[in-house]
Amino acid sequence: MTVSFEQLFQGRIFSVVRHRSQTPDGRSVVREWVRHPGAVVIVPMIDDDHVCLIRNYRVAVDESLIELPAGTLEPNEQPHQTAVRELAEETGYRCQKMQPLLEFNMSPGITDERMHLFLATDLRPGEPSPEAGEQIENLALPWDEAMAMVADGQIKDAKSLVGLLLVDRT
Amino acid sequence: MTVSFEQLFQGRIFSVVRHRSQTPDGRSVVREWVRHPGAVVIVPMIDDDHVCLIRNYRVAVDESLIELPAGTLEPNEQPHQTAVRELAEETGYRCQKMQPLLEFNMSPGITDERMHLFLATDLRPGEPSPEAGEQIENLALPWDEAMAMVADGQIKDAKSLVGLLLVDRT
């Protein structure tokens, strides 16, 4: 049973909320979590055997990670639109076919961030248009090479691991 | 180049920080992210063909998710210790062998949360000791059934997807 709900912090992309509730046996439970608009991650197949990954500098971990293209939902944007937009912005690729594969929760102990996974095919190359401050470069790889980088720990971004491992099974 | 770094919010488990930096061409870049102590996720094999999952009620998504056992690092705790402790607390299982498999980043656009994946074998059943407010129950499943729940979207927790899909490949 919810006792109270308050916003503790409002940021540019996410906020932090605190939720107090009571268990049936009368104990009080407090949880703080990050409220997030949701995001998309895309497996872009350049052809049947090549995937387009990116190298993406991440301030929070101070490292360039090898990832799938991804991005946050803008207000009033449907995940499919976000996927088409972010793929073009980050990699330059325009895609004819953006197929939803799975929705999953990124880190449900601390955030409601929901991730929408897409498979992009029928790609046409174009110019990327990164947002201010984004440091991104394309990394086109044979599928087997990408999976080898999953196995040896070179790819260590959770959403990218889920996307690559799931598509590899199908 | 870092220009400034400030803490915006201090919570019970995580904090929020703001980082201002300048690109080589002089543009200012601001990033807010969640500073997190890190966590572990465990693939507990009851025998060669059965894995112990949990049903875990998650306040942030208001849903009981099917997950692998997992938990947050306590101060001064090594990931291996956290894995042994959390497996016992959440499932009751004491394990003789806790093998590190991979470290990965949960959601590097908004947090530095680092996840340590372990494979637990040689398990002995015991009494779980959930923390206050945790609503957890064990779900022992044949491996193929767990993987079917990955494929059909019943398991939709990112760290659990990574753990199950990675172990399935090996």
Query: Which DSSP string do the residues of B115-161 spell out, in sequence order?
Result: EEEEEEEEEE-----PPTT--EEEEEEEHHHHHHHHHTTS--BHHHH
Residues of A in contact with B70 (CB under 8 A): 109
CB contact under 8 A, B32 and A13: yes
In A, residues 102-161, which contact B (CB 8 Å cutoff)?
102-115, 132-133, 150-151, 153, 156-159, 161
Q: What is the pLDDT of residue B24?
A: 75
Q: What is the pLDDT of residue B70?
A: 97
What average pLDDT score do residues B112-127 get?
97
Q: What is the pLDDT of residue B147?
A: 98
- Tokens representing A1? 């049973």
Q: Is B24 on the interface with A (CB under 8 A)?
A: no
CA dist B87 and A32 (Å) reads 23
> In sequence order, what are the beta bridge partners of B1?
none
Residue A120: pLDDT band with limits 50, 70, 90: very high
Looking up tokens 């923390």 gives B131
Q: Is A169 on the interface with B (CB under 8 A)?
A: yes
Which residue in chain A has the smallest CA separation from B36? Answer: A110
What average pLDDT score do residues A98-108 get?
97
| Amino acid at the residue A52 | C
Mean residue pLDDT of chain A comes to 94
| Amino acid at the residue B45 | M
Q: Is A153 within 8 Å of A136 (Cβ atoms)?
A: no
CA dist B69 and A89 (Å) reads 37
pLDDT score of A134 more than 90: no
pLDDT score of A110 more than 80: yes
Length reported for chain B:
170
Looking up tokens 């499919």 gives A80
Q: Out of A145-159, B103-117, B130-144, pick the least confident.
A: B130-144
> In sequence order, what are the beta bridge partners of B94?
B124
Q: What is the pLDDT of residue B167?
A: 97
- Tokens representing B25? 């061409």
Q: What is the pLDDT of residue B72?
A: 97
CA dist A107 and B60 (Å) reads 9
Q: What is the pLDDT of residue A22?
A: 83
pLDDT score of B21 more than 90: no
Residue B1: pLDDT band with limits 50, 70, 90: confident
CB contact under 8 A, A102 and B132: no
Q: A5 vs B115, which has greater pLDDT?
A: B115
Q: Is B87 within 8 Å of B126 (Cβ atoms)?
A: no
Q: What is the pLDDT of residue B22?
A: 83
Its pTM surpasses 0.90: yes
Q: Angle at CA B155, nearest 5°, toward B153 and B160?
A: 135
Q: What is the pLDDT of residue A121?
A: 97
pLDDT (tens digit per residue) in B72-96: 999 999 999 999 999 999 999 999 9
Residue A163: pLDDT band with limits 50, 70, 90: very high
CA dist A24 and A30 (Å) reads 15
Q: What is the pLDDT of residue A74?
A: 97
- Tokens representing B148? 């079917």
CA dist B83 and B141 (Å) reads 20
CA dist A39 and B104 (Å) reads 19
CB contact under 8 A, B109 and A60: yes
CA dist A94 and A112 (Å) reads 29
Looking up tokens 């059934």 gives B145
Q: Which of B170, B106, B150, B164 is nearest to A151 (CA)?
A: B170
Q: Give the closest-approach CA distance of A53 to chain B in angstroms.
A: 16
Q: Give the closest-approach CA distance of A107 to chain B in angstroms.
A: 7
Q: Is A59 on the interface with B (CB under 8 A)?
A: yes
CA dist B150 and B152 (Å) reads 6
pLDDT score of A133 more than 80: no
Quote ipTM for the complex.
0.95
Region of residue A59 (left: phi > 0; alpha: psi -120 to 50; beta: else): alpha
Cβ atoms within 10 A of the Cβ of B17, count? 19
pLDDT score of A119 more than 80: yes
Q: Is A61 within 8 Å of B112 (Cβ atoms)?
A: yes
Buried (b) or exposed (e) across A115-140, using 16+ Cβ within 10 A? Answer: bbbbbbeebeeeebeeeeeeebebbb
What average pLDDT score do residues B107-133 get?
93
